[in-house]
Amino acid sequence: MSTSIEAIHLLEDKLTNLLSNYDFLKSENELLLQNIGKSQYKILEQQKIIEHNQNEYNLLKIAKTIEGSNEDKRDTKLKINTLIREIDKCIVQLNE
């Protein structure tokens, strides 16, 4: 009879320990998920900043070329031609 009671107490202790570990791991998982969400948000913000800076850099290259700089002159001409083609496409669509 005493071995049965000891087995029940041992089982209770193990179950209590298991539930405690479960609660700890559950709260740790929630914290990690929050950290992942914050990190993903920061990554998106940094990507937006990089894209914005890249656009500004490209505009500055075009402006520098238009000023008379010989650097990137070909790129600027290609960009202007691309913009003109896009404008022409828009005009055609408006006329339809």
Per-residue pLDDT, 69: 58
Tokens matching residue 27: 């709260």
- For residue 66, pLDDT over 90 is answered with no
Per-residue pLDDT, 72: 63
pTM of the model: 0.53
pLDDT tens digit sequence for 10-51: 999 999 999 999 999 999 999 999 999 999 999 999 999 999
- pLDDT level of residue 74 (50, 70, 90 thresholds): confident
What's CA 94's distance to the chain center, in Å? 37
pLDDT tens digit sequence for 1-20: 578 888 889 999 999 999 99
43 burial type by CB count under 10 A (0-12 exposed, 13-18 middle, 19+ buried) = exposed
